[in-house]
Amino acid sequence: MRVDHLVWYCADLAEGERYFAERMDRGSVYGGVHPGEGTANRLLSLSDATYLEILGRDPAQAEASLAPEVRGLAGHGLYHWAIGGVDLSELRQRASDAGLAGSDLVTGGRTLPDGRWLGWKCFGLHNHRFGALVPFFIDWMDSEHPAKTAPRGGCLATVEVFSPQAEILHDLYGILGLNVTVTKAAVPGVSITLETRKGRHVLRMFDPVPKGYVI
């Protein structure tokens, strides 16, 4: 189990591209659009199995297709994070056995700029109080992991999670098999440190914390 990718949102994708071009070792590559969701992305690899997703609006799609909470985001920041390297069916059963409400295993995908299909399936929890402090879980099935083809922009150094209810969140992480330290703090959030040749760069989650993965 590992951090699969970080979702950093900026409504203007070109602005997000410039933001990271100034801070990372290399510029990002265009990933593609999310049909029916109103967004497109750019990618930067952080290892062979972890990447940074720069998510922004796709001007070719109607704004109405955006999720309401995405339309309401102002500025830029960490929107969500995903965990990979896990058996989603087993995890879903484990969550259910613990009385946690989870989604079905939802499949999705997008067409890459070179015409290849990138497919995945996801799982996330419903009806908890922590929003995007709780990551979602992803399996790329037979597709090549996006981190392997995106330019290497740096590496993931640290993941820090903060919550006024740190003990409860820590117990929830334990059920999910997440080995992430939660620090008690008045303001909830996630702080990600990236290491580059230009120095360290910290990504902080939107405040208030986004609603998180709900399908």
- CATH value at residue 34: 3.10.180.10
Could you tell me if residue 211 is inside a domain?
Answer: no
| Number of domains within the chain | 1
Q: Is the pTM of this model over 0.85?
A: yes
Could you tell me if residue 117 is inside a domain?
Answer: yes
Could you tell me if residue 171 is inside a domain?
Answer: yes
Could you tell me if residue 13 is inside a domain?
Answer: yes
Q: For 152-171, what is each residue's pLDDT tens digit?
A: 999 999 999 999 999 999 99
Tell me how far apart the alpha carbons of residues 125 and 152 are, in angstroms, rounded to a whole number.
31
Q: Is 95 left (phi over 0), alpha (psi -120 to 50) or beta?
A: alpha
pLDDT of residue 213: 66
Could you tell me if residue 83 is inside a domain?
Answer: yes
Q: For 190-206, what is each residue's pLDDT tens digit?
A: 999 999 999 999 999 99
Could you tell me if residue 70 is inside a domain?
Answer: yes
Q: The domain containing residue 176 runs over which residues?
A: 2-204
Could you tell me if residue 209 is inside a domain?
Answer: no
Could you tell me if residue 213 is inside a domain?
Answer: no
